[in-house]
């Protein structure tokens, strides 16, 4: 564990990413304390520029709502959707990939064709259709994002399991009479944890982007202030009131970047032999 932290901290970009992430998470957790009022509530005159008035460092939007409050509450929504939809995607992708990789033969063929079916449909289009049919609500958005993001997980896990399946310790587990589910769960999957963690951390970033895009198009949950919705709401006044779209845009950018940096760092730290740039 200490060696892992050491390797992780050797990558400065990853540390920066982690610091940004910790800040975003802290804002999300402290949101009700920092801005106890609903972010939907108009608090000042509309189109107030940043720093024009004390207490409104990011100004107000078209309806006089505090952009900073929206940003902090939006962090909760973005992170929640990013993490939960990734878990949904892992819950679909990991078992499918493990079964396909371990069984091989026609089961593998069938499951992989099924995976490819999802991969050939543009994921954003599918997400839009799903949210539109299921009503834009938190649950349906999470489900839609999860459903369009699992195929890469399934492919990754299948590949890992395929190579682990022929390891001698797995063969040994067969010969000592362990049942197949037990072999998959106790012998194989624990050894695929590292790449799953890495792809998971990167997927949280993609999920946040997807959610933002959906909200931007007005397909977000109408009860939740999200970054994507804020960018979308301010886009008509981009020229005269740039800050309404700009700050949530920066928040999305920084969070996704931080997740990617931290994910890369995790990758290097978890697979020391494959890491790039080391001599």
Partner 1 sequence: MTGPVLSIEGLTLALPPLSDRPHAVENITLKIAPGETLCVVGESGSGKSMIAHSVMGLLPQAVTPAAGQIMLNGRDVLRLDQAGLQDLRGREAGMIFQEPMTSLNPVMRVSDQIVETFAAHNLHSREERKRRALALLTEAGLPDPERLARAYPHELSGGQRQRVMIAMALALEPKLLIADEPTTALDVTTQAQILRLIENLRRRHGTAVLFITHDMGVVAEIADRIAVLEKGVLVEEGLASEVLGAPKHPYTQKLLAAVPSLTPPAPKNLAAAPVVFSVSDLNKTYRKRSLFGPTREVVAADGITFSLRRGETIGIVGESGSGKSTVGRCCMRLIEPEAGSIILGETEISGLGKAALRPHRKRIQMVFQDPFACLNPRQTIGRIITDGPVAYGVPRSEAMVRARELLELVGLSANAIDRYPHEFSGGQRQRVGIARALALEPDVLVADEAVSALDVSVQAQILRLIQDIQQRLGLAILFVTHDLRVAAQICDRIVVMSRGRIVEEGETAAVFANPRHDYTRQLLGAVPGGAAFETASPRA
Binding positions for partner 1, rule: CB under 8 A: 167-169, 171-179, 182, 186-187, 190-191, 279
User: Closest distance between partner 1 and the C-beta of residue 177, in Å?
Assistant: 4
Of residues 168 and 240, the one with the C-beta less far from partner 1: 168
Of residues 99 and 130, the one with the C-beta less far from partner 1: 99
95-127 in b/e burial notation, b at 16+ Cβ within 10 A? ebbbbbbbbeeeebeebbeebeebeeeebeeeb
How many CA atoms lie less than 13 Å away from 152 in the CB half-sphere? 13
DSSP 42: B
Of residues 179 and 223, the one with the C-beta less far from partner 1: 179
Of residues 33 and 176, the one with the C-beta less far from partner 1: 176
* Contact (CB, 8 A) for 60 and 45: yes
For the chain, first and last CA: distance in Å? 22
Tokens 């024009």, located at residue:
52
Of residues 192 and 267, the one with the C-beta less far from partner 1: 192
User: Closest distance between partner 1 and the C-beta of residue 181, in Å?
Assistant: 12
User: Closest distance between partner 1 and the C-beta of residue 115, in Å?
Assistant: 22
| Maximum Cα–Cα distance across the chain | 74
User: Closest distance between partner 1 and the C-beta of residue 176, in Å?
Assistant: 3
User: Closest distance between partner 1 and the C-beta of residue 121, in Å?
Assistant: 28
Question: Residue 109 phi/psi, 5° resolution?
Answer: -55, -50
Q: Which pair of tokens denotes residue 239?
A: 């020229």
Question: Residue 7 phi/psi, 5° resolution?
Answer: -65, -40
């Amino acid at each position: 564990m200490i060696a892992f932290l050491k390797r992780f901290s050797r990558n400065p970009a990853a540390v920066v990413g982690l610091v940004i992430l910790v800040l975003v998470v802290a804002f999300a957790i402290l949101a009700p304390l920092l801005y106890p009022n609903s972010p939907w509530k108009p608090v000042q005159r509309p189109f107030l520029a940043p720093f024009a008035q004390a207490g409104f460092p990011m100004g107000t939007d078209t309806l006089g709502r505090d952009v900073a409050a929206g940003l902090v509450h939006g962090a909760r929504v973005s992170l929640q959707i990013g993490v939960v939809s990734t878990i949904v995607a892992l819950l679909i992708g990991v078992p499918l990939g493990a079964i396909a990789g371990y069984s091989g033969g026609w089961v593998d063929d069938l499951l992989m064709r099924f995976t490819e079916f999802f991969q050939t449909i543009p994921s954003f289009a599918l997400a839009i259709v799903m949210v539109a049919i299921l009503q834009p609500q938190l649950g349906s958005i999470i489900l839609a994002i999860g459903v369009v993001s699992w195929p890469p997980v399934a492919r990754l896990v299948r590949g890992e399991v395929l190579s682990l399946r022929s390891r001698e310790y797995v063969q040994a587990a067969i010969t000592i009479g362990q049942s197949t589910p037990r072999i998959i769960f106790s012998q194989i999957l624990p050894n695929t944890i590292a790449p799953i963690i890495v792809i998971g951390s990167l997927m949280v970033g993609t999920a946040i982007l997807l959610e933002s895009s959906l909200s931007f198009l007005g397909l977000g949950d109408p009860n939740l202030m999200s970054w994507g919705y804020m960018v979308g709401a301010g886009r008509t006044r981009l020229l005269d009131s740039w800050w309404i779209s700009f700050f949530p845009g920066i928040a999305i950018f920084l969070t996704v970047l931080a997740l990617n940096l931290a994910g890369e760092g995790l990758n290097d730290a978890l697979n020391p032999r494959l890491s790039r740039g080391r001599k």
